[in-house]
Amino acid sequence: MASSTLGTCSVALLSSTYLSSSSNHSFQSLSLASGRKLYGGIGICRIKGTSQFSVASVATEVNSVQQAQKIAAKESQRPVYPFPAIVGQDEMKLCLLLNVIDPKIGGVMIMGDRGTGKSTTVRSLVDLLPEIMVVAGDPYNSDPEDPEFMGIEVRERVLKGESLQVVLSKINMVDLPLGATEDRVCGTIDIEKALTEGVKAFEPGLLAKANRGILYVDEVNLLDDHLVDVLLDSAASGWNTVEREGISISHPARFILIGSGNPEEGELRPQLLDRFGMHAQVGTVRDAELRVKIVEERARFDKNPKEFRDSYKAEQEKLQTQISSARSSLSSVQIDQDLKVKISKVCAELNVDGLRGDIVTNRAAKALAALKGRDKVIAEDIATVIPNCLRHRLRKDPLESIDSGVLVIEKFYEVFS
């Protein structure tokens, strides 16, 4: 399937800590021009063709003309298979939803047989992605309130006390093609400006687009080693540093990394595998009636994509509401100390290297509790997510025929019983 860039902007809902105190002092003293309003301590200008923020509500007031423009733009894009229409593959769908609710989980690696809907499911996620606040015109999708997600230029403007134009934009999903060059991924020199204006200018790459968004790599196990190194560096630090032709520039590159592949085509480097927060295994559906249903649904979609999408509109909107509610309530979800100790005991007894397994399991269990509308994690939540969080972190035994996920579940019941 041809790679494409879906969506319109970027992700990662993380708590803002930096400007919460300073906004009361430096920003409120700013004299705002007519037509500007304050949002989160930052002056906001209305921009033509974009939403205008209300002071009293985080919700955006969109007039009918702007709404019509959004709908027209959405309909002009390539139709995406609706997420609720995916039959089966519950493990993969759950892992993806939990990462949308809490991007700090760290992404998901999906491995399974060819033709099982891995790419289709990931790309269908784009309809469910929520909207986030971004600085208008910024190539790095900077967060107006969190300095960790700000480009250097935006940060300098904030320190000078300038007001930022802020727009509400959908989280971005960026496809990383297998044949991409390192320059296209990291960014390179803007040749046009160099020739016409005689200046050295930086042209951002795919990592800049993916900041606060989702970076999707199909057939990730076939990715060239030099691109794997680039991803490892950005995933580890959250920043992309480019050294090109006398230019040295760094920009934020925090993204949810989603990869898919077929294990028969090659193994993934263990360093990159460890960077994925969760691991989902996808198998071919064996039930004949279920297979027929999948074929019929796909035929309906190919015949009339718009009509097919409309038939799942209510389910899609219900799921969007559920995700939005879970994201907003995530910070209030609690997990008992006893459960935390048992999670770490499972990881220790399975000889899991490092502490990423403990951290990701705690985060995923909280996200699942939020998705189910609860404010407290129970043992059932942990049982659901712990195989996906630890399966790929176990040391491989070439003589072991049993699935590593089964080993995790057995150890879980042994510890939690």
Inter-axis angle of helices 356-371 and 337-349, nearest 10? 130
CA distance 119 to 197: 42
CA distance 105 to 359: 8
How many CA atoms does the CB half-sphere of 98 hold within 13 Å? 32
Residue type, 120: T
Return the closest-CA partner of residue 323 out of 135, 80, 128.
Answer: 128
Return the closest-CA partner of residue 64 out of 46, 47, 77, 51.
Answer: 51
Asked whether the beta carbons of 143 and 20 are under 8 A apart, the reply is no
- Host H or E run for residue 259: strand 256-261
Q: Phi, psi (5° rounding) for residue 212?
A: 65, 20
256 exposure class (CB count in 10 Å sphere: 0-12, 13-18, 19+): buried
Cβ neighbours around 32 below 10 Å, total = 14
Q: Phi, psi (5° rounding) for residue 187?
A: 115, 160
How far, CA to CA in Å, does 132 sit from each of 13, 105, 135, 416? 8, 18, 10, 39
Which of the residues are catalytic?
A: 356
CA distance 312 to 405: 33
Asked whether the beta carbons of 122 and 96 are under 8 A apart, the reply is yes
